[in-house]
Amino acid sequence: MRFLSRIEEEAIEEGIQQGIQQGIQQGVLQAVRGDVIEILEMRFQEVPLRVNEDLNKINDLSALKQLHRQAISVNSISEFQQLL
């Protein structure tokens, strides 16, 4: 049985940490997307599937936060779609 070198152990640890960070980031992105959809559903009842699909393509947290704010103030779902 071969033991891992210190460099291998550090590489594994770094990989684990990167995976955790990516998981956290994806979780935050998904939560904000869900919040945007929830606001739109509360305001306009029906949210087209296309809006959900377009939101799922956005991986920039600041852009999603901006859309979250805009979901609160837009006058219609079609106005929101134009922002996407």
pLDDT computed for residue 4 by the predictor: 67
In a domain, 11, yes or no: yes
How far is Cα 15 from Cα 78, in angstroms, rounded to an integer? 42
In a domain, 1, yes or no: no
In a domain, 49, yes or no: yes
In a domain, 30, yes or no: yes
Tell me how many domains the chain contains.
1
How far is Cα 52 from Cα 80, in angstroms, rounded to an integer? 12
In a domain, 45, yes or no: yes
Residue 71 is part of which domain span? 6-83
pLDDT computed for residue 53 by the predictor: 95
pLDDT computed for residue 67 by the predictor: 96
With beta carbons less than 8 A apart as the criterion, state whether 64 and 38 touch: no
Regions of the chain with pLDDT less than 70:
1, 4
